[in-house]
Amino acid sequence: MFDEDKRLWAIADTVGTPFYVFDAAIIREQYFKLKTAFPSVDFFYSLKANPNLSIVRELVTAGMGCEVCSFLEFETAAAAGVGSDRMLFVGPAKSDRELERCVVAGIKAIVVESLTELERVDRLARDLDRVQNIALRLNPDFHFPGARLSMSGRATQFGIDIAAIDEVLARSCQHGNTRIAGIHVYMGTRILEPTTIANNTRQILMLASEVAAKLGYRLDFVDIGGGFGVPYHEGEEALDLDALRYELEPIISSYEAEYPRTKVCIELGRYMVASAGRFVAGIRQTKVTKGENFAICDGGSNVHSAAAGQGSLLRKNFPISLVKGNDRAPAAGQWTITGPLCTPMDILGKDVLLDRPEAGDLICIHQSGAYGATASPVNFLGFGQPAEVMVDGETITLVRERASIANLLNEQRPRSISGASRSREIKTSCNSSSTSVFQHPCLERLDDLKDLLIATGHKLERDTEAWRDLWADPIMRAFTLVGVPERYNGFSLGDTSLGIEDCGYSLHIAMIERLARFDASCILALQGPSLAGGAILKMGTEAQIEQFFSRYRTGSQGTFFAVTEPEAGSDPSLGISAVSATTGTPRLTARKMLVGNAQRAAIGLVFAKAAETNRPILVLIEPDRHASNVKIEHLQTFGLCGAMLCSITIDELPIDDNMILGGGNPSLRDGFLAINEVFERNRPIVAALALGTARGILDHLRATSKVAAHAIADLELTHAALLRRLEIVLAAYETGRPKAHEISLIKLQAVQFADRVIQRAFSLPSSAEFMMDPTLRKKTRDAKAFEYMEGASNIHAQNAFRSYVARMPQ
């Protein structure tokens, strides 16, 4: 058996069949060859061909931009790391939500299909006080011979007719919030002849020259589409890249010489990934019917509709090979390869010459990296999405889970929408239910994230950058940015499957508790506004708010809030960090400890005092800008590694008014109130983390041991009681009357409860077995680490007692 066959069997044994397997090295090589042939061209990957996040990330890392045409494709490209200036959004029916997302992100260009769409973009940009680049998609009068599927030069839903271009250009001058930055013409797809591509490109660039002359200014770019083909069927030859370079390079060079500041762009999807992918299905049975041989597989047109001929006038065979499950004598014959569907149209290959297949063998369909499962009716008959795997040298990675029956059923859970107001999207209000916030419907939907959080939590103990796996998930991305003002938030909860438009403080705490059941460390690793965001909004100037929050329009940003000091702990009144102006220029000297996320952060707040007046000051610093004065050291911790606690040493850092929160205007009282409010709002968060971690341990024990299930029933009741107590604290917050002693008390009780759960777990008869469980050991480490979150437990007890006494009559 060949090594590659052995690898396919290893994958099949691990993830089951059917599955897709993609080769990262082939993908990278394809881009390298393209860029070598056409170094001046700007290439964009068309996600419609294969939107798998790992594939997109490979191409973005290699240097490609992204062409997207849906909200999910946009978010996939963003999660893959593409910059907003490297993204094009296309499509004939863009929603306002999609357009707004593009404008907020400030992408390279929205490709508009009509004058009406241009006016919609302008209106949205005006409402957001932005100027958005657009590209006009044109439907030229000339035709494009040689394309298997023509997209222009005929009556179609795509683009603006050339006859209408003068009116569009004239009207565009009346719209001050859009700027025509380029044009886009897509000739067609699956072109295998270099001469066809060269001739089409020549005509498109001539059209671009005419448009630029009418505009009166140069275009930033001309998108000539793509359509480079790959050979699928017998008799087709691969596109000769050397021949294409010979014919196309002079045309592009001539245009660039005349328009040196206008980039030529080519968008490619199929060409980048088709040859890197294979589809593998297991043979369930073979049979002979009326003289015809059939091999019936567990995957068919439901997961690979292209191989079944969808979109083609005549179905032709893809390259197909057999991977035998045993050594046997060859017996070649012609076979029809079918899938599992109840339709005679479910044919993947007809009259394919193969050695005699047997049940248990694998069928491998090559050239399957593009337009595979995501372009197929995967839910037909309930089979669901197949697994997807990426190989890179010797490394094999599962990059898309197989659809689970539980998830498919969960998506169909009935949810009442009666009485809802008429709107384009019906969402659940986060405050609409009279039941407990800890029973909100969206919390059940978070359970789908369990595997992601558990896996990432383990990774965070050895890789501080593993938070990126969380950011790649749309729900976790939106959850990260809860608390970011709407005008800066490019990743709204309303754009997720949670069914909510916004998230109040109480629901946010409930979501934290639910996610902490899976892994609390992951929550602390999220690169969002942290505690500092609240202080910025309360005390910051408009410029400081913009400085702090603006990056969240397009991505994540780590932040920190540095208060705790080696001697003073988390009591800001006892800190010795100071800003001194004795030498003329104010300078900050500070020693901070137990500062979460500081080494990953782009910006943060440092609490200090004015040396001359003892007045509190919050200083806004960007560590990378002040590297010579700011030293950050990662502290090794026993648990909650996602918090990435650090020490910060700041020596003689020059300070100006723009770095002082509020521009130096807030009073002494304002400074302490800001700190107190931040910590006050943080304590229920810590309580939720502790309660969630404790409940996660209980759930794990119940799932793994019947004996444990009986022994922890009382603790489960205690957990429910503490949630009710926490909800009372949250209700006081919602009414604007938080009670400090109750806040500190619930935090203390939650941390103590987590410790109690651990003691119970390791007093059970099977405790030795539990100690060998890596997930349980990690949860135990995390639960023990709550001691160092805003000081030790005795500090919380003192705070609770002092606050309680302060409210007692004398």
* 492-529 residue pLDDT tens: 888 888 888 888 889 999 999 999 999 999 999 999 99
The answer to which of 411-425, 639-653, 662-676, 743-757 has the lowest mean pLDDT is 662-676
Tell me the H-state helices in 395-541: 405-410, 441-446, 450-460, 467-471, 474-480, 505-525, 532-539
Domain boundaries in the chain? 83-268, 275-400, 437-526, 533-666, 672-806
Q: Identify the pLDDT of residue 681.
A: 73
pLDDT for the residue numbered 795: 40
The predicted-structure confidence for 283-337, as pLDDT tens digits, reads as follows 999 999 999 999 999 999 999 999 999 867 678 999 999 999 998 888 899 999 9
Residue whose token pair is 């109040």:
504
Please, which residues have CB within 8 angstroms of residue 625's CB and are 6 or more apart in sequence? none
The SS3 assignment for 306 reads: coil
Instruction: Lowest mean pLDDT of 182-196, 463-477, 609-623, name the range.
Output: 609-623
In this structure, what are the phi and psi dihedrals at residue 383, rounded to the nearest 5 degrees? -75, -35
Q: What is the model's pLDDT at position 426? A: 39
Count of CB atoms situated within 10 Å of the CB of 32: 12
Q: Of the candidates 25, 33, 34, which has an alpha carbon nearest to the alpha carbon of residue 226?
A: 34
Compute φ and ψ for 26, nearest 5 degrees.
-65, -40
Radius of gyration of the chain (CA): 30
- What is the CA 540 to chain-centroid distance, rounded? 29
CA–CA gap between residue 124 and residue 121 (Å, rounded): 5
Do strands 19-23 and 65-68 pair parallel, antiparallel, or not at all (unpaired)? unpaired
CATH of domain 275-400: 2.40.37.10
Q: Is 342 a catalytic residue?
A: yes
Most confident of the following: 42-46, 499-503, 565-569: 42-46
pLDDT at 102 over 80: yes
Cα separation, 28 vs 36, in Å, equals: 12
Residues contacting residue 642 through CB under 8 Å, at least 6 positions apart: 457, 460, 467, 519, 520, 521, 522, 523, 524, 525
Please state the rounded mean pLDDT for residues 191-201. Answer: 94
Mean pLDDT within 141-157 = 59
> What is the model's pLDDT at position 324?
94
Cβ count within 10 A of residue 231: 16
Alpha helices (H) in 350-487, listed in sequence order: 405-410, 441-446, 450-460, 467-471, 474-480
The string over 761-779, giving b where at least 16 C-beta atoms fall within 10 Å of a residue's C-beta and e elsewhere, is beebeeeeebeeeebbebb
Give residue 742's pLDDT: 81
Q: What are the residues facing 488 on neighbouring strands?
A: none
Q: Which residue has the tokens 């409860």?
A: 753
Report pLDDT for 103: 93
Helix 668-704 and helix 713-734, axial crossing angle in degrees, nearest 10? 150
Tell me the backbone φ, ψ of residue 772, rounded to 5 degrees.
-90, -5
For domain 672-806, the question of CATH label 3.40.50.300 is answered with: no
3-state SS class at 285: strand
* Overall average pLDDT of the 765-771 stretch: 72
CA distances (Å), origin 260, targets 221, 253, 720, 791: 10, 9, 68, 61
What does the alpha-carbon distance between residue 172 and residue 159 come to, in Å, rounded to a whole number? Answer: 16
Arithmetic mean of pLDDT, 139-149 = 65
What pLDDT, on the 0 to 100 scale, is given for residue 72?
A: 93
Catalytic residue among 66, 69, 265, 342: 342
Closest CA to 300 of 378, 399, 405, 353: 378
How many other CB atoms are there within 10 angstroms of residue 405's CB atom? 9
Structure tokens at 753: 């409860």
DSSP letters, 225-279, are EE-B----STT-----HHHHHHHHHHHHHHHHHHSTT-EEEEEESHHHHGGGEEE
Q: How far apart are the first and last CA of the chain?
A: 88
Report the 3 state secondary structure along 157-195. Answer: CCCEEHHHHHHHHHHHCCCCCEEEEEEECCCEECECCHH
User: Residue type at 541?
Assistant: T
Q: How far apart are CA 277 and CA 367, in angstroms?
A: 6
**Does the pLDDT of residue 791 top 60, yes or no?**
no
Half-sphere exposure in the Cβ direction for 352 (13 Å, CA) = 27
Residue 27 has pLDDT above 90, yes or no: yes
Mind giving me the DSSP string for 113-154? -SHHHHHHHHHHHHHTT--EEEEEEEE-SS--TT-SEE-SSS
pLDDT at 571 over 70: no
DSSP state of 308: T
Confidence of residue 663 (pLDDT cuts 50, 70, 90): low
* Average pLDDT for 245-257: 97
Residue found under tokens 């049940």? 359
* CATH of region 83-268: 3.20.20.10
Q: Each residue of 705-732: pLDDT tens digit?
A: 777 878 888 899 999 999 999 998 888 8
Confidence of residue 805 (pLDDT cuts 50, 70, 90): very low
- CA distances, 495 to each of 99, 271, 427, 476 (Å): 13, 31, 10, 12
Residues 559 and 513: beta-carbon distance below 8 Å: no
CATH of domain 533-666: 2.40.110.10
| Cβ neighbours around 44 below 10 Å, total | 24
Q: Is the pLDDT of residue 94 over 70?
A: yes
The one-letter code for the residue type at 628 is: S
What mean pLDDT comes out for the span 168-190?
Answer: 92
Higher-confidence residue of 576 and 634: namely: 634
How many secondary structure helices (H) and strands (E) does the chain include?
25, 27
**What's the token pair of residue 196?**
């066809």
Distance CA 691, CA 574 (A): 30
Model pLDDT for residues 315-330, shown as the tens digit of each residue: 899 999 999 999 888 8
**pLDDT, tens digit (0-9, with 9 covering 90-100), for 591-602:** 998 889 999 999
Whether 1 has a pLDDT exceeding 70, the answer reads no
Task: Look at residue 787 in the predicted model and tell me its pLDDT.
Answer: 62
Binning pLDDT at 50, 70 and 90, where does residue 159 land?
Answer: confident
CA distance 472 to 12: 26
pLDDT over 50 (residue 427)? no
| Rounded distance between C-alpha atoms, residue 614 and residue 667, angstroms | 12
Six token digits for residue 468: 């990126």
- The answer to whether 741 touches 804, Cβ cutoff 8 Å, is yes
Q: What is the band of 802 on the pLDDT scale with cuts at 50, 70, 90?
A: very low
Q: Mean pLDDT for the chain? A: 87
Whether pLDDT at 154 is above 60: no
* Single-letter amino acid code for the residue at 275: S
What integer pLDDT is reported at residue 153 of this predicted model? 52
Tell me the three state secondary structure of residue 358.
coil
Q: Helix axis angle, 740-761 relative to 713-734, nearest 10°?
A: 160
Residue with tokens 């419609």: 48
Specify the length of the chain in residues: 810
